[in-house]
Structure 1
Amino acid sequence: MPMNQSEIVEYLETNQDARGIAHWERHAEKPGGLKGYGVGLTKLRKFAKTIGKDPELARQLWQSDIYESKIIALLIDDPKANTIEQAEAQVEQLQGGYLAHVFSSCDATLAKAPFVVELAERWVKSDDPMRRRCGHGLLYEISKNYKKSAPDEEWFLAHIEHIEKTYPKQPTNVLMAMASALMGIGKRSKKLNAAALRVARKIGPIDFDPDGQCDPMDVTKHLTSDYVKKKLGL
């Protein structure tokens, strides 16, 4: 039997986490008025799987003022039912970017939509920083696609070149998304690894945590790891 919105709120209330709520309250200004129950993404993913794909419920949850409800909305949406128009509307409603990671990366539902390559192409070149961030998030997800339907090597090389030309003066969150895209692309082949690594070295480690609790993101380190060398025969 399909689940409804009130049952989802009941689940969140039952599973609320004090540490998560404390973290939420420390950063309360960022999500633009959303409420939170401190439920972690791993737990939300497991819960979303019990619901299954339900685009109608996803639309209802997206209108909620609860952070976790919006996350569940993104997780249970059906990529086959998604449209570019819906994606363009939702990218305007990411609460200052607080929902961007699940919207465009982290195995995002949107990345499985049939129009994802077209959308990524459009967004990485956008004047809007949020679209650029999400576009490069989608680019990272596309880089993990090894099916015959995936873009060819030249397509990825063109995006590496675009990142090289445009990374200076990008906001940190856009630069992080670009770095993630380089990291994904650079794991596909020897040629792409060399091209992505050259740009990653130019960018250098990215210090993204104002609290200083996380190490800078170092794409070079990832692309020269023993795992990648073995995978690509480097």
Structure 2
Amino acid sequence: MLQDHASADARALLGPRYGIHVDRALGVSMADMKLVARRVGRDHRLAADLWATGVYEARVLAGLVDDPSAVTIEQMDAWCADFDSWALCDTVCFTLFDRAPGAWTRLEPWAADDAEFVRRAAFALLWSLALHDAGAPDESFVAALGLVEEHAGDERPLVGKSISMSLRAVGRRNGDLKLAVLTTAERLVDSDSIPARRVGRTPLRDVR
């Protein structure tokens, strides 16, 4: 299914470009994975089998074909613990987790987890919810800004980038959230933490 689209040249680029472990990858483009996903359709059981392989493209495909309504909190936590690249983390958050019933419940525990890709997942999920959850109340995003301030000092670039992008996405939802985000960003850029100042600069530039 995926092997038919594999390319050695594409596989060689996965490590330097996306931080993917090439020993567990085939070298299939995202366009081809989406093509396979459309052919397969939604299949929760197949998604679990694909994830269990540990292969990067199989796990991306799992995120594309799984049924969000069938995704449990336990599954979200287990898959999140398996994230080993920003590419896999962000793809699953943006194509599956943000539509799962328990999405909002995972922000706080994942943000509190010191594992790099678990914490990144918290803010990739917030970023995605800001873009995709049209019906979410402003209060949910305002509460999440507290997590942004709490963890903006994380020195790891892959975490800081996700926090900054989530802040920018929240600020673009509406005028009230824009003001809340700018207030948060201003506090960050005035802080003593270099990573926090870096997190706050992008929203101040892009949300105003």
Q: Tell me the C-alpha RMSD between the 2 structures.
A: 2.6
**Any residues of structure 2 matched to 1:1-234 within 5 Å, and which?**
8=1, 12-24=2-14, 26=16, 30-31=20-21, 33-37=23-27, 39-105=28-94, 108-144=95-131, 145-147=133-135, 150=136, 152-200=137-185, 202=189, 203=196, 218-224=202-208
Q: Which 5+ residue runs of structure 1 have no aligned equivalent?
A: 1-7, 207-216, 225-234
- Any idea what the Cα deviations from partners look like across 1:71-102, whole Å, max 9, x if unmatched? 10111111111111111111121235552111
The residue type equivalent to 1:193 in the other structure is K
- Any idea what the Cα deviations from partners look like across 1:96-129, whole Å, max 9, x if unmatched? 5552111223xx2111111111122332233433
Q: Which 5+ residue runs of structure 2 have no aligned equivalent?
A: 190-195
CA distance in 1, matches of 2:41, 2:103: 21
Using structure 2 for the length normalisation, give the TM-score: 0.81
- Any idea what the Cα deviations from partners look like across 1:19-68, whole Å, max 9, x if unmatched? 4223135579852741222x222331232122111011111111224321
The residue type equivalent to 2:103 in the other structure is V
Q: CA deviation at 1:18?
A: 4.8
Using structure 1 for the length normalisation, give the TM-score: 0.73
Identify the structure with the greater helix proportion. 2
- Secondary structure, aligned partner of 2:68: coil
The residue type equivalent to 1:117 in the other structure is W
Report which of the two structures shows the higher radius of gyration computed on alpha carbons.
1
CA distance in 2, matches of 1:220, 1:119: 27
CA distance in 2, matches of 1:191, 1:161: 16
The residue type equivalent to 1:23 in the other structure is L
Whether the 8 Å contact between 2:15 and 2:22 is mirrored in structure 1 is no
What percentage of residue pairs aligned between the two structures are identical? Answer: 24
The residue type equivalent to 2:14 in the other structure is W
- Secondary structure, aligned partner of 1:168: coil
Higher relative contact order (CA 8 A, sep 6+): 2
Q: CA deviation at 1:195?
A: 2.4
Q: CA deviation at 1:132?
A: 1.7
Whether the 8 Å contact between 1:31 and 1:98 is mirrored in structure 2 is no
- Secondary structure, aligned partner of 1:197: helix
CA distance in 1, matches of 2:13, 2:40: 27
Per mean C-alpha deviation after superposition, the further-off stretch among 28-37 and 59-68 is 28-37
Aligned length: 198
